[in-house]
Amino acid sequence: MGKYKVCVYTIAKNEEQFVRRWVESMQEADGIFVLDTGSTDHTVELLQDLGVHVFQEEIRPWRFDAARNRSLELIPEDYDICACMDLDEFFTPGWREELERVWHPDATRASYRYVWNYLPDGREGTIFWPNKIHARHGYRWRNPVHEVLTRTVPTREVFVTMQNVTLEHHADPNKSRGQYLPLLELSVQENPNDDRGMHYLGREYMFYGRHEDCIRTLKKHLAMPEARWDAERCASMRYIARSYAALGNSLEAKRWLLRAIAEAPFLREPYVELAMKFYEDKNWIALASTSEMALAIQKRPQVYVNDPVAWGETPYDLAALAWYHLGNYERALKRGQEAVSLAPEDKRLRRNLEYYRSHAQNSASLNV
């Protein structure tokens, strides 16, 4: 045992495909606790065979916060640190040692690097730094879905950061998120002043293709006095733009993307989305300018609203296309090479790179 007594806990339902990998990655904990909420597969038996403390209980009506709070209640009182990790996630080895290294007696929460999804070619997609590792006492979960940890005691929160470990998320693509929308609507009804809940609801309407509802809800989010975080406000504006584009209003989409840039000019995402619009318009000058402004932003933010498209080959590809059409073949070649270096298996990018190289060589020979 280390300096602190550490446990991992979670909720589960029909997760048999993830059990062994998850338990193996969590073995560094002193105890592993799972509340099963109604599995009909072999999840419970597999967990028990691997030595996990498993409890079975149905939560009715279903709410994620109620399930998580119940799972937290099942942890013995003498643990110091609790890590809430879902079964479709797993830690890279050494996480316990890193947690013990950064934790101290006054610490209450720990953040860590989290890969939320992966691109089709296996590269990391969305990356951010959540903080679902917390002190055993003084916390409860809140919200029917997209639940968050809330402090229940008057002492302040003290955060630490685990820089040298990663939690990977490999979700089941066949699992329905159909329960999310009604639970988000319930969350907003219960907490109408919760700006994060309003943002999530608007985003969910966009996912469902309910674009008018998305626009209405996210405009409401932006009007809330509680909605002060510039990165999330920028994301709301980007989603509004996407919904306007889906409704066929390209001009309004561009207006909202310009507002998103003004809201958070330090984020790549709105520049890249606006650049895509300029590419559709074949506005090569605007495309060159906007894509280069995106690429001038070198630091990827540690926020959940970052978009992997903005941090992969796409902005380089857009810049290369712009410079090619503007006749600047050397710049097109440079950006095309950078795009291919990030996605070497992309046949279109490699084909385009040959065009850029050929035109650059011809241009150079004419200038000799």
Could you report the per-residue pLDDT of 175-219, keeping only the tens digit for each? Answer: 777 789 999 999 999 999 999 999 999 999 999 999 999 999 999
Quote the CA–CA distance of 42 and 40 in Å, as a whole number: 7
The residues of the chain scoring below 70 in pLDDT are 1, 364-368
At residue 53, the pLDDT reads: 98
DSSP letters for 16-84: GGGHHHHHHHTTTSSEEEEEES---SSHHHHHHHTT-EEEE---SS--HHHHHHHHHHTS-TT-SEEEE
At residue 100, the pLDDT reads: 97
Task: Tell me the CA distances in angstroms from 33 to 109, 130, 169, 286, 330, one per residue in order.
Answer: 19, 21, 19, 55, 58
At residue 366, the pLDDT reads: 58
Domains present along the chain, CATH in parentheses: 6-169 (3.90.550.10), 178-265 (1.25.40.10), 271-368 (1.25.40.10)
- List, for residues 155-179, the tens digit of each pLDDT value: 999 999 999 999 999 988 777 777 8
- List, for residues 25-40, the tens digit of each pLDDT value: 999 999 999 999 999 9
